[in-house]
A and B are shown apart, each in its own frame.
Chain A
């Protein structure tokens, strides 16, 4: 079945450091890929998405590129801020439209000032 594997956490960085959180997936067909973020005490929020190979999703300085050849969707940010501290989830949707999301286990990110 479909699955998502994320880089194990927790990840701790200093402010202005470069961030990479790895995500790889296993799926039949051509899934859509997502990064969701969960700030403390809040629900999951969509951070960015990509719906086909070589698409790049971006938002709030974060980027991720849909790499079909390596089945990856790594999250990157050039300069992190304290406010980026949260749990990040990689996910896939196996069909277009409002369908089931399959999530990775999440990566907790802490940014120190």
Chain B
């Protein structure tokens, strides 16, 4: 079974530029999460989807961040415009609400560097 796929793995951009990250969850997983992981810190939830509905986006900075999960499968997280402080690892995770308890499966992450 394939794991959570994220792309790109690395991205370097200049400040004020837009950037997008893509996530393909494990097949059949209806819950999808985006986390932000700053250097030396644990991940922090940005947004959680149940199918195509964003059910918890309270930590998403909506002035510059947006996310979508069309058709309840793949998801895209966008930052526009990026700021220096957005340099971090962006993690995607997925889980199946009705199976396996509350285990979340994580992708390898996208490391963003804003210059």
Contacts of A99 in B (CB 8 A): 48, 102
Contact A103 B103 (CB under 8 A): no
Among candidates B45, B96, B108, residue contacting A101 with C-beta atoms closer than 8 Å: B45
Which segment, of B35-43, B68-76, B77-85, faces chain A?
A: B35-43
Name B95's closest neighbour in chain A (CB-CB): A98
Among candidates A44, A46, A97, A105, residue contacting B41 with C-beta atoms closer than 8 Å: A105
A-B contact pairs, 9 of them (CB 8 A): A43-B106, A49-B101, A49-B103, A89-B43, A96-B101, A96-B102, A97-B102, A103-B43, A106-B40
Chain A residues packing against B (C-beta within 8 Å): 4, 32, 36, 41-46, 49, 51, 89, 91, 93, 96-101, 103-106
Chain B residues packing against A (C-beta within 8 Å): 3-4, 31, 33, 40-45, 48, 56, 91, 93, 95-97, 101-109
A91 to B101 alpha-carbon distance, docked (Å):
15
Contact B102 A44 (CB under 8 A): no
For the complex formed, measure the closest distance between the CB of A72 and the CB atoms of chain B, giving whole angstroms: 17
**Listed residue (B31, B42, B93, B109) with the most chain A CB atoms within 10 angstroms of its CB:** B42
For the complex formed, measure the closest distance between the CB of A90 and the CB atoms of chain B, giving whole angstroms: 8
